[in-house]
Amino acid sequence: MKRLIALFFLIGLGTATAPAPAAYAQSQVLNLQDADIRVFIQDVAQATGQTFIIDPRVQGRVSISSREPLSSRELFEVMLSTLRANGLVAVPAGSGVYRITPEEGAAAQPSSLSGSGGYGFSTQVFRLRNIDAASAAETLKPLIGRQGVVMPSPRGNLLVVADYADNLARIRSLLAQVDQDRTLTETVTLRSSSAREIAGVVNQVLNPPGADPGARNPIVSLVVVESSNSLILRGEPDAVRPMLDLIRDLDGRAETSGDVRVINLQHASAEQLLPVLQQLVGQSPVAAEGASQGDGAAATGPTTTAGGAGRRANIARYPGANAIVIAADPDTQRVLGEVIRQLDTRRRQVLVEAVVVELSDNAAQQLGVQFALAGVNGSSIPFSATNYSNASPNILALAGAAAGERNLPEDSAALNALRQTALDSLLGARGMITGGYGRSGDALFGFIINAVKNDTASNLLSTPSVMTLDNQEATILVGQEIPITTGEVLGDSNSNPFRTIQRQNVGIQLDVKPQINAGGAITLYLRQEVSSISGPLSQTNSELILDKRAIETTVAVDDGAIVVLGGLLDRNERTTVERTPLLGDIPVLGNLFKATSRQNVQRNLMVFIRPTIISSAADAQALTVPRYGYIRDLEASRSANGFSNLDAMVRDYMQAAPITAPPPPPTPPPGL
């Protein structure tokens, strides 16, 4: 029977292009030439008892030859190999059920986790214990089939792989060999060296040539434990053991290297750091003062440190190189070196910008009438006059000067005084002045009418700014120094007169000391002052009146935030009426016997502050570029040719390139 079936296939398939549907026997020989693959799958299903769901996209023709009879299992594996050779895959869909689909997109289709021999498409989840899933996925990608998928899951350190069952078995074996912890972990406690310093040396030894000295090496992981001055090393045993010998050798050499160590500071000031270190070892700052101010040698007086009684620990500074010299035992040197390392860091800067705004309006109105009446030639007409303090010029001063011209000699001192008084009264008058005098019979009369309206509006806007280091006081002053008289001595008969003066700053002054807090807020100790010269005290006194606005306070401000420091909203209205009793109360006519003055002063003053933390050179550049551009554009707008000389000055005088804004980042193409 088997020979008949084999003969049937040999005769029928030798001349036909597709096999006729027939049930395969238990063992048979295949010889297919250019047969339809869908018919071949159907015949295998009848011979093996499996169920195949054929995707409509499955098309093609196959040729298969076998010399020996094949069992049902062997026939099924031959079919799976044939499908794989033609870009098709059998995906398990249940017990004895498979879906025949193209390889493309097969990983995204649902399937059971069990494989199909060595050629079925399946999905498995691998839980990794020692290696990272993301790095393992990158390593396995070249080993995955063309339509296979490998996907890491960082949450559980899982690896999901969809591929042929035989490839999954190979990946499983590979992961079992790779996912093993063969690393060695060792702890080394140093006695004479700094753990952080030794860690930097080991990193430089392990890093490849040309690598960043501060970068972590990929061979041995080093962890610094500062509390116990220890190092934890983790890596391959062959790499860790040589480093252990190197660390112990360096620590031993440091123990016998000597008792004097010179530390060159990178950022901190040796003068400011020296008292702190001397307090740690119990050394009196006075003992090392002579040495630090002289040639920089360490002080020679013995002191007792916390490391033990009787040990000598002297610290001095060398100003020429901004260096600290430590004469102590290795353990004390290590402790002080670690303190210096933590303090010798680059300090951040703070840009403090202030805005002072003052808006004021001063409106004044004056209207006054003065008259004088006197009799002459023995007339019985009494002398009468009106005189008001808010009206000028003074009619009595003018009348006195006129009377002196007639009755006093030319060289009289009284006449000169009357003339000066009248002149001062005229010079102090403002607004419109009209007047007259005359004689009617035995009566001599005169009058003066003055009217003035004064409106003054001022707008003061100043923006002082200063940059300083964290916790460092800074001052900016833009103004003048004016002389203020503090004393005067004329002496007897004006012999040996002298006057003492004191210079005083007038202008805009900002004193600030910022302190950066851990949360990003800034504590500002500041004093803001705006002063100006108002004018002389009076016409006869040349002493100056100074207008001053000052704020001295301590505030906490967030980085880049604008807050108001303080301000003043002031409004002052004053009305002065001087009049002659009874006569000034007469309606309409009473205006001739009074003087009226009205003054309205309004002042709005506000001071704002904005601190900005400068942590890096990029931050400083980002703040400098717009301000440089603002000044350059402002100068260009005021020049006749529209060009600015600022860039030329930077190039010629500073020998540097002008500051320009960095180019904008490239715009990504649409759809990304």
User: pLDDT tens across 238-281, in order?
Assistant: 888 888 888 888 888 776 666 778 888 988 888 989 998 888 88
Q: What are phi and psi of 15, to 5 degrees?
A: -115, -20
Angstrom distances, CA of residue 192 to CA of 98, 218, 258, 316, 544: 71, 27, 11, 21, 69
Q: How confident is the model at residue 307 (pLDDT cuts 50, 70, 90)?
A: very low
pLDDT at 304 over 80: no
Give the DSSP H/E element, type plus range, for residue 315: strand 314-318
Which tokens in the block code for residue 203?
A: 């990193």
H or E stretch at 263: strand 260-264
Is residue 176 within 8 Å of residue 169, measured between CB atoms?
Answer: no
Per-residue pLDDT band for 218 (boundaries 50, 70, 90) equals: confident
Distances (CA, A) of 56 to 53, 82, 84, 99, 520: 10, 18, 17, 11, 65
CA distance 22 to 9: 10
E strand or H helix that includes residue 458: strand 443-462
- Contact (Cβ atoms closer than 8 angstroms) between residue 452 and residue 364: yes
Mean pLDDT across 393-402: 77
pLDDT at 613: 92
Band (405; pLDDT cuts 50, 70, 90) = confident
- Identify the residue with better confidence: 426 or 309: 426
The DSSP 8-state label assigned to residue 218 in this structure reads S
Token digits of residue 540: 């006869």
φ/ψ of 416, rounded to 5, equals: -65, -40
E runs forming strands in 103-210? 121-127, 149-153, 158-164, 184-189
By CB atoms closer than 10 A (0-12, 13-18, 19+), residue 382 is exposed
From residue 375, give the alpha-carbon distance in Å to each of 398, 445, 484.
17, 9, 50
3-class secondary structure, 609: strand
pLDDT digits (tens, 9 = 90+) for 226-242: 878 889 988 888 888 88
Give 525 or 648, the one with higher predicted confidence.
525
144-163: pLDDT as tens digits: 777 677 888 877 788 888 77
Under DSSP, the state recorded for 47 is: H
- Assess contact for 278 and 324: CB atoms under 8 A: no
Average pLDDT, the chain: 76
Summarize pLDDT for 6-19 with one digit per residue, the tens: 433 333 333 333 34
